[in-house]
Amino acid sequence: MKQLLVFIRKEFFHVFRDKRTLLIMFGLPVVQIVLFGFALTSEVKNITLTVIDQARDVNATQIINKIKSSSYFIVDESAVNYDEVTTAFKKGTAKCALIFPTGFGNDLQHAGQAQVQILTDGSDPNMAKTVVNYLTAILTAYQQEISPGTQLPYRIIPEQRMLYNEEGNGSLNFIPGVMALVLMLVCTALTSVAVVREKELGTMEILLVSPFKPLLVLLAKAVPYLVLSLANFTLILLLAVFVLDVDVKGSILLLFLVSTLFIIACLSIGLMISNTTNSQQTALLLSMMGMMIPTLIFTGFMFPLENMPWIFQWISYVVPSRWYFLIIKAVMLKGLGFSYIWKETLVLLGMTVVALAVALKNFKIRLS
């Protein structure tokens, strides 16, 4: 036991003296959070809307003012005719436009209906759909405002609510994704490199010749990274809560428990990788590339898994981060308890056991 402690202490020395490792370990989550939280957001906010008001009447002005007062749009009224708008679209300087034809107010008041044209840049379909939705909502609201007495006899009013995320905070989906991605990369890459480094330096031989149990070598390698990964997880959680305003609804303890399980799974995969190679570079490449792509694609936080062909859906079942992502979303964002996530946890546990068994078995084989 004392031997193990001596070994673990040595591993901590390694980590703390290796500035590069520390930078990867704690820089990565910060960069990811900032990137996903601010730069890669899928929300539509402060988008420039080109407005051509050929009507210049009370109704058009009222609608424009309503648009201006929403946080979604910045109204640009510099364009005066249709041609200018099409040119701006071609150049890419305009993404969406709203055009009031001459006589808009007149038509509305006398004929009871009037037309506006909404133009969007269809090469960015997500943005286009969102803009149309926002504008339609504003127009509908205005319509009801100006016709308070004339209620239709039958009306269906859809009441929309985005459950678990009423404000439409785009960070919510990314945070569990970033957690999965960062832990996956950091744990696998750093452990595999730490083990392979000893092989490359020749110190592994010395350790194997010593009475120190080979399995304890792996354990001692993994423990510091487990501790640091939990610190890392805490850092991501804090960043999420205080920087991105994510509300943690579920049990913190449960979050830490499942994260520990996931970290152990990742560490085992790292150890598995370390058995396949003797070069630090290969280990790093294998764990970075080999883990990053599947995590990005098959976890479900960037691309919906439901839309994938069945073969990719099947692949996604063997990606540990997919299950972790589901658990974290359920616990952190929906506040669900263990009874809702036990299946996913069981899958993750199974994966951990298999990965760990393979890692330990191969390590033994290398000795004889």
Partner 1 sequence: MSDKVIICEALTKQFGDFVAVNHISFDVGKGEIFGFLGANGAGKTTAMRILCGLSYPSSGKATVAGFDVYKQQESIKKNIGYMSQKFSLYENLTVLENIEFFGGVYGLSSAEIRRRSDRLVNKLGLTQEAKKLVGALPLGWKQKLAFSVAIFHDPQIVFLDEPTGGVDPITRRQFWDMIYEAAAAGITVFVTTHYMDEAEYCNRITVMVDGKVEALDTPGHLKAKFGVGSMDEVFYQLARGAKRSAD
CB of 251 to partner 1, least distance (A): 39
Asked if 3 is part of the footprint of partner 1 (rule: CB under 8 A), the reply reads yes
CB of 16 to partner 1, least distance (A): 10
Coil, strand or helix at 53: strand
CB of 207 to partner 1, least distance (A): 7
Closest CA to 263 of 341, 198, 324, 195: 324
Asked if 23 is part of the footprint of partner 1 (rule: CB under 8 A), the reply reads no
> Which residue among 7, 298, 324, 363 contacts partner 1 (CB under 8 A)?
7
Asked if 212 is part of the footprint of partner 1 (rule: CB under 8 A), the reply reads yes
| # of chain residues touching partner 1 (CB under 8 A) | 24
Taking CB under 8 A as the binding criterion, the range among 1-9, 90-98, 188-196, 269-277 that sits at the site for partner 1 is: 1-9
CB 19 within 8 A of CB 231: no
Asked if 208 is part of the footprint of partner 1 (rule: CB under 8 A), the reply reads yes
> Which residue among 118, 127, 132, 207 contacts partner 1 (CB under 8 A)?
207
Per-residue CA distances from 301 to 23, 30, 39, 280, 325 (Å): 25, 18, 16, 30, 8
Asked if 209 is part of the footprint of partner 1 (rule: CB under 8 A), the reply reads yes
Longest dimension (CA), the chain: 96
CB of 362 to partner 1, least distance (A): 16
Rounded to an integer, what distance in angstroms lies between the CA atom of residue 106 and that of residue 319? 60
Q: Which helix (H) or strand (E) holds 218?
A: helix 214-242
Rounded to an integer, what distance in angstroms lies between the CA atom of residue 190 and that of residue 169? 32
Cβ closer to partner 1: 13 or 38?
13
Exposure b/e, 344-368, CB count within 10 A at least 16 = b:
bbebbbebbeebbeebbeebeeeee
Give the per-residue contact string, 176-205, with partner 1 (x = CB under 8 A; - = no): -------------------------xxx-x
CB of 360 to partner 1, least distance (A): 18
Rounded to an integer, what distance in angstroms lies between the CA atom of residue 366 and that of residue 272? 12
CB 65 within 8 A of CB 147: no
> Which residue among 211, 253, 307, 339 contacts partner 1 (CB under 8 A)?
211
CB of 209 to partner 1, least distance (A): 4
Site for partner 1 in 329-368 (CB under 8 A): 367-368
Return the structure tokens found at 13: 């020395």
Binding site for partner 1 (CB under 8 A): 2-3, 5-7, 9-10, 13-14, 17-18, 201-203, 205-212, 367-368
